Amino acid sequence: MAEKQDVSVLHDENEKPLSSPPSDPVRSKRLVRSIDLRLLPLCAWIYLLNYLDRGNIGNARVLNKETGDSLVQVVNVSPTQYAVMLSIFSLAYGLFDVPSNWIMKRYVRPSLWLAVLLFGWGTFTLGFAGVRTYPQIVVLRFMIGMFEAGFFPGIVYITTFWYRPEERSLRIAFVMASATLAGAFGGCISYGMGHLNGVGGLEGFRWLFLIEGLISVLSCLLIIFFLPDWPERSWLSPEDAKFATDRLEGQGYTKAHASRREIMETCLSPRMLLHYATYVVDCIPLGSLTFYTPTIVAGLGYSSIQAQLMTVPPWVVGYIASLTLSWSADRLNARGWHIAAASTIGGIGWLTAGLLPVHAYTQRYGALILCACGAFPSAAPLSSWVTCNVPAIAAVGIAAAINNSGAGISQIIAQWIWRSSEASQNYPTGNFVCAACSFTTALMAISLRIWYGRMNKVGAKDASGRDRVWLL
């Protein structure tokens, strides 16, 4: 009898159109504000650590190079080996996205699983403080990529426990924007660690990995004790927890498993493949900024320590642009147009940087700021869009993981287009490839916007046969 009852409940949920509003707007607004305060600052802080520990390899590459104490000089890493060790990280990142989300949905509650991931990559970041050989670096980077892979899709998945589709883009953007702050903080921290070079017999880059790795490991306690899993297991009263679940009206987390058809449509339908491909293309400029901003800025005539500080302004501008664009995209239900606009601005920045003379340092630095206004602001709406318009609610975790795993492919590409041999020529390959990717992202976003407009016009249903209003 229990089985029949469950099926009946699921059937009733499936009959509800996914566009109906919450029943009590005032209570809903108050609840969302409470959720924001409990969930978002913690998620943003941990994602900031995620990006710090991912991108600090770029800071370590040039830190104290004038004295021969940078990572690549001490361990004797060639440019090709440096690109390979970055690619190893990205390979692991792409491979372990989906398995990580699968484990979290089926076996381990989110707060505990995300704490395990954080502890893992924090521990291996600490290990970098003792590296002596290139093989050690390769192994550590692979392990960091493996543990970091599932974190962001896990955060995206958690938002489906708490927020309606039209509320997710800004929240995801708030978390993702902390990655731009990581670029700013990373530059500041690296500047400080550069002045510790030689203290305690350690190079500056070793101090960098020690400090950032230790912060990550200690932050595990914050996740375990303070990150709410879902409404039924949170600070909310039973009545508020029920309201938090009911207000999603079939648009959020479900314990039901996706059917074969729903999984196939999520993985292989042309519309979803276009989503995944758009994210891959967008993340090539994003990966370039993450791993090569210190290198790019160092090429503008600054010393290695000064270059760390000069990476800060582009990331801060990118942070503001990310939040502004995502807020506007949610408010106007116009994600496609906003992504296209931001990507076009970023494309102009990359193209300008590639065309300017090598010694036009001020203009090229301004172009870098334009670049930061493109990839990062586009990434958050793209991540939200794919989960809001997934063919079946039960497959949200799969969609988030597949989408994020594409970033691993993007990062591998990004790591091979910035060639050390082209430093004196202003990195034409890197700049022009990123420009092409930015403009292509804009065209693909417009295509998705038109596609969803037509789907709404003809009343296209989802994979379960439910009525949907597809977000634009």
Encode 325-359 in three state secondary structure: HHHHHHHHCCHHHHHHHHHHHHHHHHHHHHHCCCC
Amino acid identity for residue 399 in this structure: A
Helices (H), 128-203: 134-149, 151-162, 165-194
The answer to whether residue 213 scores a pLDDT higher than 60 is yes
- Both tokens of 302, joined, read 């600054």
Q: List pLDDT tens digits, range 233-279.
A: 888 888 888 888 888 775 555 556 677 888 888 888 999 999 999 99
Q: List pLDDT tens digits, range 311-342.
A: 778 888 888 888 888 888 888 889 999 999 99
The whole-number pLDDT of residue 339 equals 95
Q: Which of 23, 439, 78, 94 is nearest to 276 (CA)?
A: 94
Distance CA 230, CA 444 (A): 34
The whole-number pLDDT of residue 4 equals 37
Distance CA 370, CA 365 (A): 9
Q: Which of 79, 72, 84, 65 is nearest to 298 (CA)?
A: 65
- Both tokens of 196, joined, read 């510790």
Query: How high does pLDDT run on average in the chain?
Result: 83
The whole-number pLDDT of residue 340 equals 96
Least confident of 25-34, 92-101, 176-185: 176-185
Percent of the chain with pLDDT over 90: 25
- Both tokens of 178, joined, read 């902390």
The whole-number pLDDT of residue 303 equals 62
- Assess if CATH 1.20.1250.20 describes domain 39-230+253-458: yes
DSSP string, 172-189: HHHHHHHHHHHHHHHHHH
pLDDT higher at 311 or 354:
354
The whole-number pLDDT of residue 3 equals 36
- Both tokens of 313, joined, read 């302004």
The whole-number pLDDT of residue 254 equals 54
Q: How far apart are the first and last CA of the chain?
A: 41
Most confident of 106-115, 370-379, 436-445: 436-445
Q: List pLDDT tens digits, range 2-57.
A: 333 333 333 333 334 344 444 578 888 899 899 999 999 999 898 888 888 887 88
The answer to whether residue 105 scores a pLDDT higher than 80 is no
Neighbours of 210 (CB within 10 A): 19
249 Ramachandran zone, left/alpha/beta (phi>0; psi -120 to 50): left
Distance CA 31, CA 231 (A): 11
Q: Which of 318, 84, 12 is nearest to 183 (CA)?
A: 318
pLDDT higher at 251 or 129:
129
Residue with token string 């795993």: 405
Determine contact, residues 126/214, Cβ cutoff 8 Å. yes
The whole-number pLDDT of residue 446 equals 96
The answer to whether residue 431 scores a pLDDT higher than 60 is yes
Helices (H) and strands (E) in the chain, counts: 20, 0
Neighbours of 455 (CB within 10 A): 17
Q: Please, which pLDDT band fits residue 364 given cuts at 50, 70 and 90?
A: confident
The answer to whether residue 443 scores a pLDDT higher than 90 is yes
- Both tokens of 443, joined, read 């065209």
360 Ramachandran zone, left/alpha/beta (phi>0; psi -120 to 50): beta
pLDDT higher at 354 or 463:
354
- Both tokens of 354, joined, read 């590639």
Determine contact, residues 354/367, Cβ cutoff 8 Å. no
Least confident of 122-126, 167-171, 217-221, 286-290: 167-171
Q: How many Cα atoms sit within 13 Å of 237 on the Cβ side?
A: 3
The whole-number pLDDT of residue 411 equals 81
Distance CA 186, CA 294 (A): 10
The whole-number pLDDT of residue 5 equals 34
pLDDT higher at 200 or 4:
200
The whole-number pLDDT of residue 162 equals 86
Determine contact, residues 269/50, Cβ cutoff 8 Å. no
Determine contact, residues 395/322, Cβ cutoff 8 Å. no
Q: Please, which pLDDT band fits residue 300 given cuts at 50, 70 and 90?
A: low
Q: Global pTM?
A: 0.77
The whole-number pLDDT of residue 408 equals 80
